[in-house]
Amino acid sequence: MRVRKPAVAGYFYPAEKEELVKQIEWSIKHELGPKALQMPKLGEKALGGVVPHAGYMYSGPVAAWLYSALAGYGKPDVIIIIGPNHYGIGAPVAVMKSGVWETPLGRVEVDGALAELIMRHYKGVEDDFYAFSKEHSVEVQIPFIQYYFGDVRIVPIVVWRQTLSTSRELGKAVATAIREYGRDVYVLASSDFNHYEPHEVTVQKDDMAISKILKVDEAGLFEVASKFDISICGLGPIGALIVIAKELDFGNVTLLKHATSGDTSGYKDETVGYASILFHR
């Protein structure tokens, strides 16, 4: 059995179980966090959403908003996590089709059946364990998933070919696979927003990108990111999520929380933007 060991435990989040739980709960109770495990539902059903993937001390309080919102809709059978491939390792679009992911909170199993369906509908997706070896964009989501949902299965996907066409092809394949799978699935697009600019600049740039996401406009998102040099690391995953939402009729999008690393660290000269954005109907 393939076991994906933690690559960023002790760096992005604590390596010890008790400390990790404390930091997740700190994220929830932080002044920027949701302060509660349950929030009012915004509709009858949720698809998932956009969630940040930085170190918990920076983005944890923002990430907690999406997980708290999704918890209100109940536990799914599977959570698909689509993240950027920051290192360019492995396939342009990679999935881990079998095995388990390990964190200080235990192990979660990959859902091979759903992964196989996605691969069947998009030949550009490759089963590539190596592509995940260093990547944090999926890993940092898993302790939050374990804390909120327990032993739910996952399908991890990472993308370094972040083009509009790739996002559309992947999004349509995932949507078709979810339909055929016939069970409850959440989809997470793991992404931070603008990187390493002053707080005011990051907020302004993020707002332009978020406005396109709220309009369920993947082409507009790619266009505004290019035109205004908005350094969104998970542009492809967000684009794919938007396409999935349109294909599966989740047309309502709600911004739950937007902040920057400066809001948690106090250092506002060079910041990274974070947002939790819920897709629902």
Half-sphere exposure at residue 239, Cβ-oriented, CA atoms within 13 angstroms: 25
Tell me how far apart the terminal alpha carbons of the chain are, to the nearest angstrom. Answer: 38
Cα–Cα distance for residue pair 173/132, rounded to 1 Å: 21
Cα–Cα distance for residue pair 45/178, rounded to 1 Å: 15
Cα–Cα distance for residue pair 150/145, rounded to 1 Å: 7
Task: Kindly report the pTM of this predicted structure.
Answer: 0.97
Please write the tens of the pLDDT for every residue from 135-186: 999 999 999 999 999 999 999 999 999 999 999 999 999 999 999 999 999 9
Say if residues 158 and 84 touch (Cβ distance below 8 Å).
yes
Please write the tens of the pLDDT for every residue from 205-226: 999 999 999 999 999 999 999 9
Using alpha carbons, list the distances in angstroms from residue 41 to 28, 52, 74, 224, 232.
Answer: 17, 21, 10, 30, 28
Q: Residue for token digits 């559309």?
A: 168
Please write the tens of the pLDDT for every residue from 91-149: 999 999 999 999 999 999 999 999 999 999 999 999 999 999 999 999 999 999 999 99
Contacts of residue 3, Cβ cutoff 8 Å, sequence gap at least 6: 99, 100, 101, 102, 107
Q: Residue for token digits 């794919």?
A: 240
Give the pLDDT score at 42: 87
User: Is pLDDT at 38 greater than 80 in this prediction?
Assistant: no
Give the pLDDT score at 244: 98
The confidence band for 237, taking pLDDT boundaries of 50, 70 and 90, is very high
Say if residues 200 and 93 touch (Cβ distance below 8 Å).
no
> 3-state DSSP helix/strand/coil percent for the chain, to nearest 5?
40, 25, 35
Cα–Cα distance for residue pair 139/261, rounded to 1 Å: 20
Q: Give the mean pLDDT of 256-261.
A: 98
Give the pLDDT score at 201: 97
Element (H, E) at 170: helix 164-181
| Cα-based angle 144, 244, 203 (whole degrees, multiple of 5) | 60
**Closest listed residue to residue 243, CA positions, set 177, 195, 184, 155:** 177
DSSP string covering 191-204, please?
A: ---SEEE-HHHHHH
Question: Looking at residue 58, what DSSP letter applies?
Answer: H
Would you call 251 helix, strand, or coil by DSSP? coil
User: Is pLDDT at 1 greater than 90 in this prediction?
Assistant: no
Give the pLDDT score at 43: 85
Q: Give the mean pLDDT of 231-250.
A: 98
Give the pLDDT score at 112: 97
